[in-house]
Amino acid sequence: MKKSSLQLNEMPFKPHDSVLKAAVEACEHGNRYPTDGDIGALQAALAKRFDVEPDWVAIGNGSLMILHQVMIASGQKELVYPWPSFADFPVLAEGLNMTLKPIELCEDGSCDLDKLAQAITAKTSLVIVCTPNPPVGGVVKHQAVEQFLQKVPARVTVLVDEAYAEFMRDKEGLRSLELVRQYSNVVVSRSFSKAYGLAGFRVGYAIAQPPLATKVRAAGVPRFQISGAAQAAAMAALANQKEMDKRIEAIVTERSRMSKMLRALGVEVVEGHGNFIWLPVGKLAAQVKEKLAAHEVLVHAQVPFGVRVTVGTSEDTDRLQTAWRQADPLSA
């Protein structure tokens, strides 16, 4: 039996036919280097989508590379970041010899903006605000972020990580592009890996005012940031936004169904705003992961906080329900 992989927050749908066709056609020219013109075309497409000029956009090999470049561009000194959150924030920063200053979350799993602001010192070069914030899926309010930014020194770069932004359904949620236009020290990072379902192609991007965007680009490799196939796939995905939106809505709907199903089994669930749900099981996280894995359902344990479960297809939800009943993963 094929396992249900609900651990990496991947989309469960294969790339749309138009995306696959574009990628395959690009592979026919795989003996050639990607051209600067191709990157320019993707920059232009992203700029058009977000109503900015192309020089506001930086493209990298997945959002991981973008995060790495932003850390370098900030001066790579002290990082203030929410925790728990994206596991690679501290990993990347440690590799750059940055000082780490993790800040605990609010009860709803969102970034505690007051504590983030209070933690800034003369040594701080970068503050991260992640919204929706994994593993819980909490989001920050737009007005609260405006107030937060007024407290942040202009010399400190503020990275707004929105890898899961497309799944957010909070009317008071962050309107990040408004803040990018207003603040020269704010950079927004997004990804084609999650909502667009192109995790294997590795395409991430950042949006910032031109001086900061230039620094972010300069912190990466000078040419050939992503492959020709990845460029083609991303362009095709952007051109087929209606289909992408349908898939996103399908995940949001299934997120609600999965949450209701587990609650009916007596499980505490935080639905959040990502393509995942959060089970605050604390120290039982590793046990839950192991027991579900024995029934061919793979989830992510963030010890000692809880378990994050990716939202997949309706079949995945049904298999999770069966596995939970059979494994009884919270029992001794």
CATH for 281: 3.90.1150.10
The answer to whether position 212 is within a domain reads: yes
| Per-residue CA distances from 5 to 49, 209, 268, 290 (Å) | 32, 38, 21, 13
Residue 36 has what pLDDT? Answer: 62
Last residue of a domain, one of 239, 256, 290: 239
Tell if the pTM clears 0.85, that is, is over it.
yes
Assign residue 76 a region (left: φ > 0; alpha: ψ between -120 and 50; beta: otherwise). Answer: left
* Average confidence (pLDDT) over 67-75: 97
What mean pLDDT, rounded, does the chain reach? Answer: 94
Residue 34 has what pLDDT? Answer: 81
| Per-residue CA distances from 180 to 132, 136, 189 (Å) | 18, 25, 11
* Average confidence (pLDDT) over 35-46: 80
Say if residue 39 is in the same domain as residue 162.
yes
Domain residues for 250? Answer: 4-12+242-327
pLDDT at 37 > cutoff 60: no
At 38, is the pLDDT very low, low, confident or very high (cuts 50, 70, 90)? low
- Cα–Cα dist 16/159, whole Å: 31
pLDDT at 221 > cutoff 90: no
Last residue of a domain, one of 221, 239, 257: 239
E-strand ranges in 34-123 read: 57-60, 78-83, 99-104
pLDDT at 1 > cutoff 60: no
Residue 171 has what pLDDT? Answer: 86
Q: What are 166-192's pLDDT values in tens digits? A: 999 988 889 999 999 999 999 999 999
Which tokens hold the place of 150?
Answer: 């007024």
Say if residues 327 and 292 touch (Cβ distance below 8 Å). Answer: yes
Last residue of a domain, one of 207, 239, 271: 239
